[in-house]
């Protein structure tokens, strides 16, 4: 049964995003996703554990990239800059897939259960960033504050990037937002 299935994973993802957008996440079945992709359900489950995982499968890679980015930042970089550099380095993965990223965001934003999952993903990312900062020797609460502030910046930069899509890359939005954060927190 192992016929060659070129880019099965990508085709399944594209089919899922299309169907979630057309009929809603709750109204779409794995069987329909597989059919749309011209593949079998069995192939779907070789790539994704369930219907939801197709939306969150990239979280692990993103976390690894952010942690590596923090650890690889110049030794002299203050914690908030190490976080900013890591987030900017991860930005191209969003730019390169901006259509799918926007589709995914649209699906999640109308589904409370998926929004919860997204919040948890962001909380994990913040915890991973804080842990990477502590491995750089940053103390608490500075490590957690820089990590949580960084994720807050990312959320807001990401939303701005989505609304002004194609005008400029996500890295530029992130950089601007860190600049705004500095202004905001210097405020009083």
Which positions touch a copy of itself (CB under 8 A)?
77-81, 84, 115-116, 119-120, 123, 141-142, 144-146, 148-149, 151-153, 155-157, 160, 177, 180-188
User: What span, in angstroms and rounded, lies between the C-alpha atoms of 5 and 8?
Assistant: 5
Asked if residue 129 lies in contact with residue 83, where contact means CB atoms within 8 angstroms, the answer is yes
Token pair, residue 156, equals: 């807001």
CB 21 to a copy of itself: min, Å: 24
Report the residue number, 6 or 187, with the smaller CB distance to a copy of itself. 187
**Tokens 């210097």, residue?**
186
CB 135 to a copy of itself: min, Å: 17
CB 123 to a copy of itself: min, Å: 6
Cβ atoms within 10 Å, residue 161: 25
CB 146 to a copy of itself: min, Å: 5
CB 37 to a copy of itself: min, Å: 30
CA-to-CA separations, 8 to 38, 99, 104, 162, in angstroms, rounded: 9, 19, 18, 27
Residues across the chain: 188
Report the residue number, 44 or 94, with the smaller CB distance to a copy of itself. 94
User: What span, in angstroms and rounded, lies between the C-alpha atoms of 20 and 38?
Assistant: 17
Report the residue number, 137 or 188, with the smaller CB distance to a copy of itself. 188
Report the residue number, 16 or 149, with the smaller CB distance to a copy of itself. 149
Closest CA to 94 of 67, 114, 65, 73: 65
Asked if residue 137 lies in contact with residue 74, where contact means CB atoms within 8 angstroms, the answer is no
Report the residue number, 107 or 153, with the smaller CB distance to a copy of itself. 153
């Amino acid at each position: 049964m192992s016929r060659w299935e070129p880019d099965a994973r990508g085709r399944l993802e594209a089919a899922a995003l299309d169907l979630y957008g057309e009929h809603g996440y709750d109204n779409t079945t794995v069987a329909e996703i597989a059919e749309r992709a011209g593949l079998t359900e069995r192939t779907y489950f070789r790539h994704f554990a369930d219907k939801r995982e197709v939306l969150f499968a990239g979280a692990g890679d993103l976390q690894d990239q952010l942690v590596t980015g923090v650890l690889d930042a110049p030794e002299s970089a203050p914690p908030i800059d190490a976080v900013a550099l890591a987030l900017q380095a991860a930005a191209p993965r969003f730019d390169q897939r901006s259509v799918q990223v926007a589709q995914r965001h649209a699906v999640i934003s109308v589904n409370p259960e998926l929004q919860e999952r997204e919040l948890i993903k962001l909380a994990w990312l913040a915890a991973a960033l804080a842990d990477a900062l502590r491995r750089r020797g940053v103390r608490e609460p500075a490590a957690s504050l820089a990590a949580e502030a960084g994720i807050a910046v990312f959320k807001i930069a990401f939303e701005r990037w989505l609304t002004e899509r194609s005008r400029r890359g996500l890295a530029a939005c992130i950089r601007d937002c860190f600049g705004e954060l500095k202004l905001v927190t210097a405020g009083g």
